[in-house]
Structure 1
């Protein structure tokens, strides 16, 4: 039996999305209150910071801050347009419901990206290493172009001394305009909190994905480079059974109808005489979606065929309604 992880969903707040910003052929004026899901991933290994434990606890995404005043002032108008916002329970509260203490029991936090509804309250996790897509720390300090200026982020949002910027992904660019933030080398303190496999981390092709990183070195959890939404956006592919995988898609899309092919990615006025989507690079975001769709159809991972793949994205209200029993301490 291959090494597997267990996954539990976590309530980490809700926000309200105007449909026209996210899907094509939107119903005029329609707004939907949706979750910002987080996930607990448990791997059967002893973490370096808690050698007496036989389980490494990872949290993927942290959802919404319970105190909205903690966001950068320039985000106030944007957040106001996402009301109603529900902050209780947040990620930390959801963990405690299953008797896990964020401050002492969480070993690693992996953030899919740094948008406000995914960063949560990092100070709740003072013992954890933070793992982010390459360029994230640079983006927090310097921004990333006119759509993502530095003032929309808190430059100290995550603890730099405990944060690992994943290796840079080398990929061709078609237009020369996609200037990603620069990679930041991790500190010794951060590296010491990672699994032993981290010394060999490298991006390699996996199934339909050009770049995947084997987090524990045993195939149980792969970080998937998922470009398009925001610089450094990553997804996770977790093996939860011999032939069962869960793909955590973050913000690869914001509506399950896009995954099913019923809707497309919406374009809207960018305020500069052009059109944009909620993604920094719409074509790349669509390519990421296409790869996910191809992977689901392929049903094969590393020579194992006929695997079952479940895709869960961060704001899927339909999934949440149908899967309340799979929230921590329940499992996927």
Structure 2
């Protein structure tokens, strides 16, 4: 058998967890049958993914990608309409935030120099979605290209229905000149066409004068099946980082699947659910009165969220036939406590 060419050789990335603040979740609003007296202070995790390639926006031989930014360092930076919700999630811990974790890691906070400088060393930020506990402080990344799910920018400008009015978002939060949306998601045949047609925010095309700097593969981005996942984008074009369309929680919600070795993947599930018992099928998503005579959950569409969980289960199950797959949710307190050694500068 001929030796694989450089282009054919598999590419692997390294991934490190980042502390990016904490918030407190009432159990009964997230897990069906949860105790109304139980409140859990949980992390809002971010992740640093390092790809072995020349970055598009700076020197060096590693491309740095950050997934999610967690909680804002300055809570006054949230929109006024968002503040009552944040108060309901007390205690909220903002130190360290994502930027501080990139600089100093989880080890010696007094070390000389920064491990990574968010102002100059981060090429891409991908946000799973733009809820307050994931959007962090984008202004900490003044040279970074932001990539978000289709419809995200319209959601932030115009809102989406009574549960997500525009007043909850800062419309100028993401830098217009350096933000790109993933392509629109094909939805025919998934049973939710009517919902998408009447509720989904509009896709925002990248302007011709954009200052966003994307990987060379971006010109060929399209949603394609991979393993058991029906809609994925090969971010770098080398099968090392897949963006997974994960609808249901909030418009534009995406997950990441990253390959760290020949036999290991890590699936970053964002807010596909908020408790590992839901992911395993032991518990169901909680539903409750929406205050308008209807029933809601923490997801914008509970049916789509359940469908996404089924797709994750199928995709992960297929991959596990040949590889180990570690699934990490954004708010998994137990995972954080067990894996402190794998936080930056450590690796998963």
Could you say which TM-score interval applies, normalised by the shorter chain? over 0.9
Q: Verify: 1:176 aligned to 2:184, yes or no.
A: no
- Work out whether residues 209 and 291 of structure 1, in 8 Å CA contact, stay in contact via their aligned partners in 2: yes
**Structure 1 position 174, deviation (Å):** 3.5
- Work out whether residues 162 and 187 of structure 1, in 8 Å CA contact, stay in contact via their aligned partners in 2: no
Distance 1:132 1:24, change over 3 A: same
- Work out whether residues 20 and 101 of structure 2, in 8 Å CA contact, stay in contact via their aligned partners in 1: yes
Partner of 2:236 in structure 1?
216
1:227 and 1:206 map into 2 onto residues whose CA distance is 17
**Any idea what SS the aligned residue of 2:31 has?**
coil
Partner of 2:55 in structure 1?
47
1:73 and 1:226 map into 2 onto residues whose CA distance is 29
Q: In the alignment, which of 55, 74, 80 is matched to residue 73 of structure 1?
A: 80
Partner of 2:4 in structure 1?
none
- Work out whether residues 228 and 288 of structure 1, in 8 Å CA contact, stay in contact via their aligned partners in 2: yes
Partner of 1:97 in structure 2?
104
Q: Verify: 1:327 aligned to 2:334, yes or no.
A: no
Give the structure-2-normalised TM-score: 0.92
Distance 1:169 1:191, change over 3 A: farther
Q: In the alignment, which of 158, 166, 170 is matched to residue 154 of structure 1?
A: 170
Partner of 2:111 in structure 1?
none
- Work out whether residues 47 and 194 of structure 1, in 8 Å CA contact, stay in contact via their aligned partners in 2: no
Q: In the alignment, which of 253, 257, 277 is matched to residue 257 of structure 1?
A: 277
Partner of 2:144 in structure 1?
128
**Any idea what SS the aligned residue of 1:109 has?**
strand
- The gaps in structure 2 that reach 5 residues or longer are 1-8, 106-114
Bigger mean CA deviation after superposition, 182-191 or 38-47: 182-191
- The gaps in structure 1 that reach 5 residues or longer are none
**Structure 1 position 176, deviation (Å):** 2.0
Partner of 2:3 in structure 1?
none
How big is the alpha-carbon RMSD for the aligned residues of Structure 1 and Structure 2? 1.3
Distance 1:189 1:129, change over 3 A: farther
Distance 1:328 1:25, change over 3 A: same
Partner of 1:18 in structure 2?
26
- Work out whether residues 23 and 265 of structure 1, in 8 Å CA contact, stay in contact via their aligned partners in 2: yes
2:136 and 2:228 map into 1 onto residues whose CA distance is 31
Give the structure-1-normalised TM-score: 0.96
**Structure 1 position 311, deviation (Å):** 0.4
